[in-house]
């Protein structure tokens, strides 16, 4: 169990939270002298850098962009005397991939894993009423004992270099907001909602955890601010007649206001949006509030010019506008949980999210994307001496993700791995532990899945039975039989789909990836691979195949936008499979998808249709 609360930071009558974002002092520890040199008390130099942002793309020096090791951040924080008596925290939205936090030279926290929040408790170490020095050491080295997996090597000049087993640039640093927070001691620490929706009513089961005592009042307000229902006690069930349900691209959010009182005095209050909706899998259908849905959308990345993986409200807004324009209704947070703001906006806009833990590269290969795409498997990734350490880190990330994201109506499923090696018996206990934990922790019992690469075939994969719906990443027409051989690709693809069909799994399938690298500058008639024409031809071929199998209940094209990767022979300054360019302008394929998705009904291929 986590020993801190991952509730989204809010200002309420009893809580205070303030972003510490802005320009922070920054130093790169090229010679690994920071710890010995007591940088924890103050870092050398005068360089300043924005938080949140990835540090890599600001500089003109390649040894900074490619740096593997420790980078140090520092800022001064005034901690007001008025916070005395509260629990006081510094909350990091993420520190990639691991961090140690120091306040006034003393270590106060550490965290492993680069895409989920953590809190540093500074209640007892703060100098109240004074400026306190906050220093963070962030390490970005890739290993096989944490996710995402990779390795690092030492070059002959002594510099370290990361070698990711995955196909996105290893952006790192403080890429999400940092908050100073003060919350009541003994206040509200966790909330769970689950829903059971009937024809004209809904039951909302809730549990509220506090770190102290006192009575709890829960009030549910509708979007007009009218009180819709209320309940007393730390847990219970609220019955609502004629509820306004949350639906796909038709969101409705109630606001739950929770008040904790002791001896008649308010000790804490917290509010949280509530979308009433039920997610279920029935046979080969994905149901939202009992109605079948077909997923249309993308695998995405947090990726942007200059600020890298640093969260930007502007980029987020543009991405949602483009997803609405093109007729999408969903996306997967490939290959890591995104900034919390993405989910809050999805809640408002009615998008469906498959939330993915940062488990990518569990397949030993430096050209993972290629080897996985062509089915060249590396075997026994899960029988190494280090596997138990990796599994622990992976389970912890699953716990943190579910803890953070469980109350978003937009989150309809958990993706527990991307393209892992799954053809070896040793993968079974490893996967089972993840799937069991997700089922235990999520009171909504959302469906679980993992994205399967092509060697995880119907005959070879040992783990697909664990998935509540099957997610396939398939590159027929690109890594497999691309170009003029596209006709053979279609045949090969149909053959695989026939094999899946003959297993009669009675589960929905979605395509969690399919796509072609395409340069926005290339046009060619007749087409060649990498031209915009080829991307369209290939998508048409793949869609034709999807359309012929009734159990295919979704398509999430790879990728929403072009994104940065490690340099190499297979990548032209990044992966170009975007439907939009990196600067978020459409390629030709965007119009093709818009035509298709605007015409596919939400209940496309539902039984009886
Ligand atoms: C995949 C990976 C994704 C890559 C993609 C590609 O299978 O899941 O991370 O970017 O293929 O474009 O090769």
What average pLDDT values come out for the chain (609 residues) when binned by 10 residues? 91 97 98 98 98 98 98 98 97 98 98 98 98 98 95 94 96 98 97 96 97 94 98 97 98 98 96 98 97 98 98 98 98 98 98 98 69 63 93 98 98 97 93 98 98 93 97 97 98 98 97 98 98 98 98 98 96 97 98 98 84
CB contact set of 314 (below 8 Å; sequence gap of 6+): none
- In the prediction, which pLDDT does 28 show? 98
Question: Does residue 347 line the site of ligand 1, with CB under 6 A?
Answer: no
Per annotation, catalytic residue among 513, 533, 537, 555: 513
* Ligand 1 atom with the shortest distance to the CA of 166: 9
- In the prediction, which pLDDT does 1 show? 75
**C-alpha–C-alpha distance, residues 387 and 399, integer Å:** 18
Nearest residue (CA) to ligand 1, atom 7:
369
In the reported structure, the alpha carbon of residue 167 is separated from the centroid of ligand 1 by a whole-number distance in angstroms of 6
Pairing outcome for strands 448-452 and 470-473: parallel
Separation in Å, CA 15 to CA 181, 182, 183, 270: 7, 6, 5, 8
* Ligand 1 atom with the shortest distance to the CA of 373: 7
Length of the chain measured in residues: 609
* Ligand 1 atom with the shortest distance to the CA of 453: 7
- Determine the residue of 149, 169, 369, 479 to mutate for testing ligand 1's pocket, defined as the one with the most ligand atoms within 8 A of the Cβ atom: 369
Nearest residue (CA) to ligand 1, atom 10:
167
- In the prediction, which pLDDT does 370 show? 65
Sign of the C-alpha dihedral computed for residues 305, 311, 316 and 317 taken in this order:
negative
Question: Does residue 513 line the site of ligand 1, with CB under 6 A?
Answer: yes
Sign of the C-alpha dihedral computed for residues 373, 559, 354 and 337 taken in this order:
positive
> Which of 419, 298, 314, 312 has its CA nearest to residue 358?
419
> Which of 357, 546, 523, 510 has its CA nearest to residue 433?
357
- Determine the residue of 419, 557, 568 to mutate for testing ligand 1's pocket, defined as the one with the most ligand atoms within 8 A of the Cβ atom: 419
- In the prediction, which pLDDT does 260 show? 98
- In the prediction, which pLDDT does 378 show? 55
CB contact set of 3 (below 8 Å; sequence gap of 6+): none
- In the prediction, which pLDDT does 146 show? 95
In the reported structure, the alpha carbon of residue 1 is separated from the centroid of ligand 1 by a whole-number distance in angstroms of 33
In the reported structure, the alpha carbon of residue 586 is separated from the centroid of ligand 1 by a whole-number distance in angstroms of 20
The question of whether 513 is a catalytic residue gets the answer yes
Pairing outcome for strands 285-288 and 279-282: antiparallel
Nearest residue (CA) to ligand 1, atom 6:
369
**C-alpha–C-alpha distance, residues 478 and 514, integer Å:** 9
Q: What pTM was computed for the model? A: 0.97
């Amino acid at each position: 169990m986590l020993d801190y609360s991952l509730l989204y930071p809010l200002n309420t009558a009893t809580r205070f939270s303030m972003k510490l974002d802005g320009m922070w002092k920054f130093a790169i520890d090229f010679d690994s002298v920071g710890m010995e040199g007591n940088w924890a008390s103050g870092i050398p130099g005068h360089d300043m850098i924005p938080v949140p942002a990835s540090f890599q793309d600001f500089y003109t020096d390649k040894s900074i962009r490619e740096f593997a090791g420790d980078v140090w951040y520092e800022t001064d924080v005034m901690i007001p005397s008025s916070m005395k008596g509260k629990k006081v925290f510094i909350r990091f939205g993420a520190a990639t991939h691991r961090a140690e936090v120091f306040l006034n030279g003393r270590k106060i926290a550490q965290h492993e894993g680069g895409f989920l929040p953590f809190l540093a408790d500074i209640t007892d170490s703060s100098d109240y009423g004074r400026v306190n020095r906050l220093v963070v050491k962030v390490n970005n080295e890739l290993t096989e004992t944490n996710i995402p997996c990779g390795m690092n090597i030492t070059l002959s000049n002594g510099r370290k270099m990361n070698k990711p087993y995955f196909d996105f640039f290893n952006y790192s640093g403080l890429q999400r907001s940092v908050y100073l927070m003060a919350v009541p001691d003994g206040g509200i620490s966790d909330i769970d909602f689950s829903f059971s929706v009937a024809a004209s009513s809904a039951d909302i089961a809730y549990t509220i955890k506090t770190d102290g005592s006192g009575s709890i009042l829960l009030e549910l307000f509708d979007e007009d601010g009218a009180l819709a229902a209320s309940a007393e006690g730390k847990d219970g069930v609220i019955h609502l007649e004629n509820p306004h349900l949350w639906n796909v691209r038709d969101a409705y959010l109630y606001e739950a206001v929770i008040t904790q009182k002791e001896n008649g005095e308010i000790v804490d209050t917290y509010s949280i949006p509530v979308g009433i909706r039920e997610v279920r899998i029935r046979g080969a259908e994905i149901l939202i509030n009992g109605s079948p849905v077909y997923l249309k959308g993308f695998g995405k990345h947090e990726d942007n010019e200059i600020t890298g993986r640093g969260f930007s409200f502007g980029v987020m807004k543009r991405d949602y506008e483009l997803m609405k324009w093109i007729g999408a209704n969903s996306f997967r947070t490939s290959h890591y949980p995104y900034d919390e703001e993405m989910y809050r906006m999805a809640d408002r806009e009615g998008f469906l999210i498959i939330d993915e833990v940062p488990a990518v590269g569990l397949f030993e290969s430096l050209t993972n994307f290629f080897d996985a795409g062509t089915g060249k498997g590396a075997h026994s990734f899960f029988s190494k001496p280090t596997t138990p350490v990796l599994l622990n880190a992976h389970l912890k990330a699953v716990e943190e993700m579910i803890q953070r994201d469980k109350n978003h109506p937009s989150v309809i499923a958990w993706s527990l791995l991307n393209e892992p090696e799954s053809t070896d018996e040793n993968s079974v206990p490893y996967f089972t532990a993840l799937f069991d934990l997700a089922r235990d922790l999520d009171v909504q019992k959302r469906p679980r899945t993992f994205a399967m690469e092509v060697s995880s075939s119907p005959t070879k994969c040992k783990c697909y039975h664990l998935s509540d719906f099957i997610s396939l990443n398939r590159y027929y027409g690109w890594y497999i039989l691309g170009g003029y051989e596209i006709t053979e690709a279609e045949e090969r693809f149909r053959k695989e789909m026939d094999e899946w069909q003959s297993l009669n799994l009675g589960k929905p399938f979605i395509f969690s990836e399919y796509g072609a690298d395409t340069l926005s500058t290339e046009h060619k008639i007749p087409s060649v691979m990498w031209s915009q024409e080829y991307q369209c031809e290939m998508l048409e071929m793949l869609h034709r195949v999807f359309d012929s199998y009734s159990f295919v209940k979704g398509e999430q094209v790879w990728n929403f936008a072009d994104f940065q990767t490690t340099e190499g022979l297979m990548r032209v300054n990044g992966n170009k499979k975007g439907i939009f360019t990196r600067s978020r302008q459409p390629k030709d394929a965007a119009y093709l998808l818009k035509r298709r998705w605007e015409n596919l009904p939400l209940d496309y291929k539902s039984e009886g249709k």
